């Protein structure tokens, strides 16, 4: 049944399983600073990367409904795992019932669109959570646009916990950064472009750069997602008109506020004022 949602313009919603989406939000706000934003982190139930399709879909759907109820007409899933496992079902099955005029966008497609112009060898690597790798979303999306590109993926299950436990620059982290990079390059030594397909990985960039051989390009996501959103709003003036412009950003977490404030400082260079919210 259709929800009774308001038609009053509202902020752009950015959702993530936890903190990683802050790297996406940061780039979006740099690129499109005039809009209002509402960030929601499902920190109480993170990580999503090891969870099943059904669980990720149900959690993500709850978050989208909440963001709609809070006034967002446009929601970005700033999480690869949610984009891989929940986006399509929400777009196809849920939006027509929730409100056909609202939109939910993911971050895999904007990342994939740039890859064709970056790889010369046509051999691309993907590093992401187990959930994103097992979903095969990256190879599927890449092959829709660039069928000639060979794609190899490696799951990096320890990278997110290392970042979330403030070990991004720790000495022990080198071992696991090198391990997954070596695994990827052992699968295909012609890779010249590696997609960092998880929103936490920008924090590991200094270490990743250390172990990726020169000549291999690393592709992050924030800038591509921000450019893609700017382009989307240009092409959809009816949606643009429903996004308010007060240059504000509010943060919500399903975990304790104090924990969010402490960990968010790893991802953002500004103090955040966060409120607790329940999704279930
Ligand atoms: N933010 C998620 C992603 O980009 C990683 C964290 C998680 O596993 O929940 O895939």
> Does the pLDDT at position 3 exceed 80?
no
Coil, helix or strand at residue 240: helix
Report pLDDT for 166.
86
- pLDDT-derived band at 115 (thresholds 50, 70, 90) equals very high
Q: How far is the CA of 80 from the centre of ligand 1 (A)?
A: 6
Say how many C-beta atoms besides its own lie within 10 A of residue 187's C-beta: 13
Q: How far is the CA of 235 from the centre of ligand 1 (A)?
A: 29
Q: How far is the CA of 20 from the centre of ligand 1 (A)?
A: 6
H helix count then E strand count, the chain: 14, 10
- Closest atom of ligand 1 to 84 CA is 10
122: left (phi over 0), alpha (psi -120 to 50) or beta: left
- Taking only the tens place, the pLDDT of each residue in 36-60 is 999 999 999 999 988 999 999 999 9
- Closest atom of ligand 1 to 160 CA is 6
| C-beta of 137 in contact with ligand 1 (< 6 A) | no
> Does the pLDDT at position 19 exceed 60?
yes
| C-beta of 81 in contact with ligand 1 (< 6 A) | yes
| C-beta of 17 in contact with ligand 1 (< 6 A) | yes
Mutate to test the pocket of ligand 1, among 14, 40, 56, 81 (most ligand atoms within 8 A of CB): 81
- Taking only the tens place, the pLDDT of each residue in 238-261 is 999 999 999 999 999 999 999 899
Q: What DSSP element (H or E) covers 37?
A: strand 37-41
**pTM score of the predicted model:** 0.94
Say how many C-beta atoms besides its own lie within 10 A of residue 13's C-beta: 26
Q: Angle of helix 257-267 relative to helix 21-31, nearest 10 degrees?
A: 60
Q: What share of the chain is helix, strand, coil (3-state, %, to 5)?
A: 45, 15, 35
Report pLDDT for 240.
98
Strands (E) across 63-118 are located at: 74-77, 103-105
Whose CA is closest to 38, among 2, 62, 64, 7?
Answer: 64
The whole-angstrom separation of Cα 144 and Cα 138 is 10
| Residue 80 · residue 108 · CB < 8 Å | yes
Report pLDDT for 270.
84
> Does the pLDDT at position 160 exceed 80?
yes
Domains and CATH numbers, the chain: 12-106+223-276 (3.40.50.1860), 109-220 (3.40.50.1860)
Phi and psi torsions of 142, nearest 5°: -65, -45
- Closest atom of ligand 1 to 50 CA is 8
> Does the pLDDT at position 2 exceed 70?
no
| C-beta of 20 in contact with ligand 1 (< 6 A) | yes
109: tokens are 């497609």
Whose CA is closest to 122, among 22, 38, 190, 184?
Answer: 190
Q: What DSSP element (H or E) covers 174?
A: helix 173-187
* Percentage of the residues of the chain whose pLDDT score is greater than 70: 99
The whole-angstrom separation of Cα 152 and Cα 254 is 34
């Amino acid at each position: 049944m259709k929800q009774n949602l308001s038609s009053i313009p509202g902020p752009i919603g950015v959702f993530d399983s936890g903190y990683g989406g802050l790297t996406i939000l940061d780039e979006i706000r740099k690129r499109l600073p005039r809009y209002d934003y509402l960030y929601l982190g499902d920190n109480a139930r993170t990580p999503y990367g090891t969870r099943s399709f059904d669980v990720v879909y149900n959690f993500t759907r709850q978050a989208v409904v909440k963001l709609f109820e809070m006034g967002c007409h446009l929601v970005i899933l700033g999480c690869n795992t949610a984009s891989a496992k929940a986006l399509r079902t929400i777009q196809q099955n849920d939006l027509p019932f929730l409100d056909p005029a609202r939109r939910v966008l993911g971050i895999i497609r904007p990342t994939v669109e740039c890859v064709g112009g970056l790889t010369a060898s046509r051999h691309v690597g993907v590093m992401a959570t187990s959930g994103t790798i097992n979903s095969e979303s990256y190879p599927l999306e890449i092959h829709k646009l660039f069928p000639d590109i060979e794609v190899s993926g490696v799951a990096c299950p320890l990278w997110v916990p290392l970042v979330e436990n403030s070990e991004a620059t720790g000495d022990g982290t080198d071992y696991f950064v090198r391990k997954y990079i070596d695994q990827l390059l052992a699968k295909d030594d012609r890779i010249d472009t590696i997609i960092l397909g998880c929103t936490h990985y920008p924090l590991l960039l200094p270490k990743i750069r250390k172990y990726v051989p020169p000549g291999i390009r690393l592709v992050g996501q924030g800038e591509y997602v921000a450019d893609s959103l700017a382009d989307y709003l240009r092409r959809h003036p009816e949606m643009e008109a429903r996004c308010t412009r007060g240059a504000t950003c509010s943060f919500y977490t399903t975990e304790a506020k104090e924990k969010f404030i402490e960990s968010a400082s790893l991802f953002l260079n500004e103090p955040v004022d966060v409120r607790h919210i329940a999704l279930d």
